[in-house]
Amino acid sequence: MKAPLVIVTATLAAAITLTASLLVITTTRGANTSFDSSAGPLEVETVASGLSNPWSLAFLPDGRMLVTERPGRLRVVTRNGQVSSPVSGVPEVWASGQGGLLDVALDKDYANNATLYLCYAERVSGGGRTAAARGKLSDGAQPLLGEVKVIFRQEGPLSSGNHYGCRFAQASDGNLFVSLGDHFGPRDEAQNLANHLGKIIRITPDGAAPRDNPFVGRAGAKAETWSYGHRNVQSLAIHPTTGRLWEIEHGPRGGDEVNIAEKGKNYGWPVIGYGVDYSGAKIHEGTHKAGMEQPIKYWVPSIAPSGMAFYTGNLFPAWRGSLFTGSINRIKGLIRLSLDGEKVTGEERLLQNLNEEIRDVRQGPDGALWLLTDNVAGRILRITPAGR
């Protein structure tokens, strides 16, 4: 699990900036590198660089990309690596700690309605909270996000800068799932149905709670809640065959989990789990408890997972049906899970020598795997079989 961010000294910050600058110099666009894998040698192409802590990537219908930068900028990036000026009209974000402008997702009917969704940290008196907004992209020489409407604001104890969650997944019925972190400090609130901390919510594109949500009409419970007992979900996706919602969440020191998030279910945090506190102190009552779900996979030690994609393309036929997630801490690479239905049958760790924190992973319209690297000079990477 990625530890909460702390303020660094000016000297350390300068060192980080210098390191990032050197990284840009030595990995310019088009400088491809090959890595081994079970599918044969992989080619890693740097499509664009110089992005400031890029967090999420979404493909536009014409193959260009929308990329969020955590300090609060949304950019349009072409296939050949041209990066636009910041899209105007983006809501103000609280870019502190782990917060800022985080996920971006296109509406399922984007080709007709130009609607996209943004998830971000919003500052309020006393701290921060997760918020979600929708808007319409006007694409031109100066891209503009118009008709912006905040559709959701998290309720509950505020964050000091950590654990916002903030991933989207849109179901076939058009409803949105949004992951909401536990804000790190008030972790017990993940079990409290009276607030939104440590929850996955399900809302309409306008932000309302669908009438068939599990806690609609229940006194003392938030109608938007879909599932609860989560810590910090930064990976969310709909399975392409079953239509079920999968999530991967950060544990503390150990205990990152893969879960299938089902309606009304309790996933246990912080009552049960497989990790310990950063100090080594005990957190959980145990690993199992009646009425609480077990993960379909967990990691000890932690991998700090972020981003998620089910692979359905043709460039890697041997990997079709696999689940990919990035690692933003110890492994610093790309992780592939092989699946048999809803069981994880194997794990492969890729690009470990890349020495990058992978914040997001997407399957592109070309069948390649596209990654974002999280640093002050972040890159967009395209992964293909070597020679393709």
- Cβ atoms of 351 and 335 closer than 8 Å: no
Predicted pLDDT at 331: 78
**Cα–Cα–Cα angle for 2, 334, 15, rounded to 5 degrees:** 50
Predicted pLDDT at 32: 66
Q: Other CB atoms closer than 10 Å to residue 248's CB: what's the count?
A: 28
**Catalytic option among 163, 196, 250, 284:** 163
3-state SS, residue 350: strand
Half-sphere exposure of 199 (CA within 13 A, CB side): 29
Predicted pLDDT at 329: 84
Half-sphere exposure of 62 (CA within 13 A, CB side): 9
Known catalytic membership, residue 163:
yes
- Sheet with 323-327, strands from edge to edge, namely 305-310, 323-327, 334-340, 343-350
Predicted pLDDT at 5: 40
Residues 274-298 pLDDT 10s: 999 999 999 999 999 999 999 999 9
Low-confidence ranges of the chain (pLDDT < 50): 2-30
Enter the tokens of residue 138: 């006007």
Domains of the chain, earliest start first: 51-303 (2.120.10.30)
Q: Give the global pTM.
A: 0.91
Element (H, E) at 173: none
Cβ-Cβ contacts under 8 Å for 358 (sequence gap 6 or more): 306, 307, 326, 327, 328, 332, 333, 334, 351, 371, 372, 373, 374
Residue 148: what are its φ and ψ, rounded to 5°? Answer: -75, 130
Residues 42-83 pLDDT 10s: 999 999 999 999 999 999 999 999 999 999 999 999 999 999
Predicted pLDDT at 4: 45
**Cα–Cα–Cα angle for 277, 280, 283, rounded to 5 degrees:** 40
